Structures are given as C-alpha cells and as structure tokens.
Amino acid sequence: MKKHNFNAGPSILPREVIEDTAKAVLDFNGSGLSLMEISHRAKDFQPVVDEAVALFKELLQIPEGYSVLFLGGGASLEFCMVPFNFLEKKAAYLNTGTWSKKAIKEAKAFGEVIEVASSADANFSFIPKDYTIPSDADYFHITTNNTIFGTELKKDMDSPVPVIADMSSDIFSRPVDVSKYICIYGGAQKNLAPAGVTFVIVKNDALGKVSRYIPTMLNYQTHVDNGSMFNTPPVLPIYAALQTLRWIKAQGGVKEMERRAIEKADMLYSEIDRNKLFVGTAAKEDRSRMNICFVMKPEYKELEADFLKFATERGMVGIKGHRSVGGFRASCYNAMPKESVQALIDCMREFEKLH
Ligand SMILES: *Cc1c(COP(=O)(O)O)cnc(C)c1O
C-alpha cells in the first residue's frame, strides 16, 4: 500500500533526494568511496557545501553581508547560541508555543527577557498581534511556524529592533525578506534534510557586539570564519540538503513552494471546515500551511481512535496529533504531494459517510 507521510519531523523528503543521497552513500561522485567515509575536507566535498550555501542565497535572495552556516546541535542548540551571541542586556520574545518557550528559557540565562505577548492561556491557538517591542531590546525573537500548535506567522514583520527567527518548520515554504532579520535558524529535519544539520543565516555585522566570552564552538564568528568547517560538519545531511535545494530550484523556487503550500493547505482546511465530524484548532487567520491541526467535534469525540485506525489502514502515516493539542496533525511540508493530501481528504469523507 502507498504510504502518505504526514510526519511532523523528521518528515517527508522528495523521493529524488532520498535516492540521490542513497547513491552517494554507496559511491560518492564515482570515487569508489562512500559519502560516509570521505574527509569533509576532501576536494570533492567542498563543492557540496559551496553549492548548498550558494543555493540558500539564491533561493531566499539573501542580501550581501550575510553568511549561511551548517552546524550540528539542532535548533535547540540555537536557543542558547542566539542569546550567547546577541543578548547583551535585554531581549524580547514572542511566546507562541512549545519551541518559543524553550528559546525563552535559554535566553533567561543571559540577560533580561521580555515576553512581549503570549497565547499560552488559549493553548497557543493563535498568534498574539497587539504588543509593543521594547525599543531598547537587543533583538526580538519569533518562531515563524509553531509545528506543534499549527499556527504560522506568514509575513515578515517590521520591528524597531533586529529580528531573529526560528524557521525550523517553514523555511523555503515562502519567500522571506532576509534583510529584516539578523539571524534565521532551524533544524533541517522538517523541510530540508534528514536530522543532524542546523542551518543558520546570520548577518555578519551583527556579530561581535556582546561583551562576554563566547566558547569557540558556540561563537557564530568561528563558523563564519571557517565556512562551517571548524570541526567535522554533518556531511550526509548537508549532502541531502543540497539535493533538496536543487529540487526546490528545479520545481520553480520558493514562490512555487508557496503556491503549492497554499493550495494543499486550502484543500485540507476546506475539508476540515466542511466535514461535520472535524474542527480545526488554530485561529483561521493564523493557520499554518505546514502543520494542519484538527480534532473531532465534541459530539464525535469518541470516534477519534476509530478515525486514526481507519486512516492508518488506508496508508496515512503520522497524523496523530501532538499530545499538547490532541486529535490530528497533518504536516504538509514542501515534499508532500497534493495527491497525499487528497488521499487524506478522501479518508475524512469516507469516514463521515459511515457516521
Ligand atoms: C522541531 C523544531 C525545533 C527543534 O529542533 P531540533 O533540531 O530537534 O532541536 C525547534 N523549533 C521548531 C519550530 C521546530 O519545529
């Protein structure tokens, strides 16, 4: 049976990316060696990093003066590296869910943290809009897509202070005005590559402004100066990331990814809104295109386990909702074909007919 991979992360990758990476694992560039057994400093590997950086810059139209880094540690390490590198006295954070909270917790170890707004009281079902960003903050931190709660900030915002964003789960799903940010980071395993690499886009002249000592490995400047090769980088996920970046370009770039994301999300949300059994959990204007969360209406609550079983038997994978929301979450990342979304919709319709 065909599997439809709605996993929230690690998640679906384009089939070509998996196949090309598998080939390189067996034989990298006809060298007779595996991608897993060559030096990251091998002359054949440097072009992989160089092209990945170049494609990042091209696809996101990153202006001059920014570096693209490929690091280890996941987005979770960035929660600490960001304040280490940028927080001198005070930072502002928007609290939109689990990942924001984790970022806030780390920042508090480095200085004063102002939580400008939070939707915690509403189980993070919307993105707060009315708040003031203190003009004396070193930066303002946002999570553009809340993977767990299914809300998304789909526009780049204006802010009186530099903006830093965790874009782990919506990078490359829309054009981004990188000039509005001093740092954008994310774990690769949602929209880019297998787990193991973290991308960081950093504005070079925003570095070096804090007075504390920053341990070498945690200092962005180290990685800017060494082209992500200060220590052994995660070679295999970087190679896979390059294949994904080539794939995005070949498909028509981030504008096309955005068009498809809107199309898929519209299809699924329309069904959620139409179907008598289901209801979406996120405020309509803040609905994520990447992680679509829905539950059974109260009067059909007892059917939740049945629907999960019904859909699983029809090839749906990973649609069980995160425990903090319950119900269902269908993650529709870039690599998710429209046909899989349609297959889930067909399941929902069939199940509705039975009840
Ligand atoms: C998955 C995720 C993270 C955590 O990423 P790791 O690479 O596992 O540390 C952080 N932020 C967001 C928005 C995520 O979706």
pLDDT tens digits, one per residue of 109-130: 999 999 999 999 999 999 999 9
- Residue 342 assigned as binding residue: no
Q: Which of 154, 170, 190, 203 is catalytic?
A: 190
Contacts 24+ apart (CB under 8 A), 344-347: 344/4, 344/6, 344/268, 344/311, 344/316, 344/319, 345/267, 345/268, 345/271, 347/310, 347/311, 347/314, 347/316
- C-alpha 234/C-alpha 246 separation (Å) is 19
Q: Which residue has the least CA distance to atom 10 on ligand 1?
A: 75
Residue ranges matching CATH 3.90.1150.10 in the chain: 253-354
Which tens digit of pLDDT belongs to each residue from 13-41?
999 999 999 999 999 999 999 999 998 88
Residue ranges matching CATH 3.40.640.10 in the chain: 15-251
| CA dihedral (59, 266, 281, 126) positive or negative | positive
- Measured distance between the N- and C-terminal CA atoms of the chain, rounded to whole angstroms: 25
Helices marked H in 113-209: none
- H/E stretch holding 261: helix 253-274
Is pLDDT of 44 > 90?
no
Peptide linkage before 298 cis (omega within 30 of 0): no
Which tens digit of pLDDT belongs to each residue from 229-282?
999 999 999 999 999 999 999 999 999 999 999 999 999 999 999 999 999 999
Could you tell me which CATH class the domain 253-354 is placed in? alpha beta
CA angle, 16 as apex, 335 and 8 as ends, to 5°?
30
- C-alpha 270/C-alpha 253 separation (Å) is 26
- Residue 99 assigned as binding residue: yes
What residue type is 162 in one-letter code? P
Confidence of residue 224 (pLDDT cuts 50, 70, 90): very high
Q: pLDDT averaged over the chain?
A: 97
Write down the pLDDT at residue 43: 81
CA angle, 308 as apex, 303 and 310 as ends, to 5°?
90
166 is catalytic: yes
Q: What ligand 1 atom has the least distance to the C-alpha of 195?
A: 7
Is pLDDT of 204 > 90?
yes
Give the range among 36-40, 191-195, 200-204, 284-288 with minimum mean pLDDT. Answer: 36-40
Structure tokens at 115: 């939580």
Confidence of residue 179 (pLDDT cuts 50, 70, 90): very high
Fold exhibited by the domain 15-251: Aspartate Aminotransferase; domain 2 (3.40.640)
Angle, helices 15-26 vs 235-251, to 10°: value is: 140
Of 246, 199, 225, nearest to 71 (Cα)? 199
Which tens digit of pLDDT belongs to each residue from 135-170?
999 999 999 999 999 999 999 999 999 999 999 999
Write down the pLDDT at residue 22: 98
Per cent of the chain over pLDDT 90 is 98
